[in-house]
Amino acid sequence: ISSVELTEHYLQRIEQHDSQLNSFITVTPELAREQAKAADARLAAGDATALTGIPLAHKDVFCTQGVRTSCGSKMLDNFVAPYESTVTARFNAAGAVTLGKTNMDEFAMGSSTESSFYGPVCNPWNAEHVPGGSSGGSAAAVAARLCAAATGTDTGGSIRQPAGFTALTGLKPTYGRISRWGMIAYASSLDQGGPMARSAEDCALLLQSMAGFDPQDSTSVDHPVDDYTSGLNGSIKGLRIGLPKEYFASGLDSATAAAIEAACQQFRALGAEVQEISLPNAELAIPAYYVIAPAEASSNLSRFDGVRFGYRCEDPADLTDLYKRSRAEGFGAEVKRRIMVGAYALSAGYYDAYYLQAQKIRRLIKNDFMAAYEQVDVILCPTSPTPAFRIGEKIDDPVSLYLTDIYTITANLAGVPGIALPAGFTNGLPIGMQLLGPYFSEAHLLNIAHQYQ
């Protein structure tokens, strides 16, 4: 099959099904057709990579030159990026095709994709339920086969949780593995891009393009990039898997707990050993994260002032009025909540009580992981306490939504990588689980997930 045919197939599926799902904010058929033609020429010339001609979708947090990049916000509804993010530039260089930009929680703040200015996304497994978030558009698009694979970003779980809610495989790499250049910042010390796909093997192919040092991102790490596909078939005999006992306490849905238990049986059958471990500070992760992430967001989002780009209010009386009304009208409720919480936590007199304490907890959580990796090779746990909840169910109670991030945010606070993979179904809804590993263990995590699948 040619890339042109494959691209037409996906464009047609988007046309047919996305009015129900709302997984795309912007579809780019012209760009896709042009790239598909170029890819076919490359394939014919024998100058192809594994991704040449493969139709992908990108979370609308990645700047794409000449294509609207909204970040799910009214603030950037009219923003056409003047430059290309490193991640999408690498996919373009590999010859991949861009089908469009996917829906997301506004500025990636959320766990359900309900905070998007463009409306909520439906879970393809059950349209009354959320697909997770904030990369919910990417998750729904891949799960509904509207694209071959997609990009996401994970600040506190936004790749792994939606992957879990839609039966996909999604990888949050080590902090610094993938360049953040051109990825609109939410919480810079936590944000990391990564692949969302139908299998570990597909994630490996995408990661191969995405990973690598980028001098344009000062937090990009100059660490050699592994060959992510060559080791996929390695045996996992003798692999030591740790189950954090704190994660199997109250609040965990019984079907999810049973699915993890069944996964343990399968891992044992593959030769792995499963043992209990402890992450003693895990319960402090949510309060620490919901101070640190908003603090960084309040600083990052100060650039949206109505002056240089993005939304500007009508007829401002003066500069202060322009700032105030542009931000009041351009940002949604959740984004404003985060900016206020963050600005409060960073303000004089409260900095030591909140931000500094949260940073100390962050260090303790990182130390917990380092201690755990002395005992085991990887950690296995659910991606969220329950399967996908109903659209609207948690919309009036932000704290109940924040609490659903309990299993995912620790990896971001520690900077370690994690891969989410399907663990079964309950009442027709997918159950997700994740494997967390030491820094730069992406190749090993992909290998383990591939063996399991």
Mark the segment that binds ligand GLN (CB under 6 A) among 103-111, 124-132, 193-201, 436-444.
103-111
Nearest Cα residue to 388 out of 123, 156, 198:
123
226 in contact with ligand GLN (CB under 6 A) = no
Nearer to ligand GLN, 100 or 156 (CB): 156
Nearer to ligand GLN, 95 or 162 (CB): 162
Q: Examine the residue annotation and report whether 158 is marked as an active-site residue of this protein.
A: yes
420 in contact with ligand GLN (CB under 6 A) = no
Which of 94, 109, 141, 446 contacts ligand GLN by CB under 6 A? 109
User: What pairs with residue 27 in β-bridges?
Assistant: 100
Which single residue is written with the structure tokens 């991102």? Answer: 217
What's the residue count for the chain? 453
> Which tokens is 397 given?
């109670």
Distance CA 438, CA 448 (A): 14
Which of 157, 176, 306, 387 contacts ligand GLN by CB under 6 A? 157
> Which tokens is 335 given?
């984004």
158 in contact with ligand GLN (CB under 6 A) = yes
170 in contact with ligand GLN (CB under 6 A) = no
Spot the catalytic one: 70, 134, 209, 326.
134
111 in contact with ligand GLN (CB under 6 A) = yes
92 in contact with ligand GLN (CB under 6 A) = no
154 in contact with ligand GLN (CB under 6 A) = yes
Nearer to ligand GLN, 207 or 277 (CB): 207
Nearest Cα residue to 176 out of 158, 152, 192:
192
CA pseudo-torsion sign 58, 62, 68, 74: positive
Other Cβ atoms within 10 Å of 317 Cβ, number: 10
Going by the DSSP 8-state scheme, the letter that residue 373 receives in this structure is H
155 in contact with ligand GLN (CB under 6 A) = yes
Which of 72, 100, 110, 332 contacts ligand GLN by CB under 6 A? 110
Distance CA 198, CA 177 (A): 21
Spot the catalytic one: 23, 70, 158, 220.
158
> Which tokens is 221 given?
């790490």
86 in contact with ligand GLN (CB under 6 A) = no
On the question of a cis peptide bond just before residue 3, with omega within 30 degrees of 0, the verdict is no
Which single residue is written with the structure tokens 């050699």? Answer: 224
Q: Examine the residue annotation and report whether 302 is marked as an active-site residue of this protein.
A: no
Catalytic residues, by residue number, are 59, 134, 158
Query: Which positions lie near ligand GLN, rule CB under 6 A?
Result: 108-111, 134, 154-158, 186, 293, 405
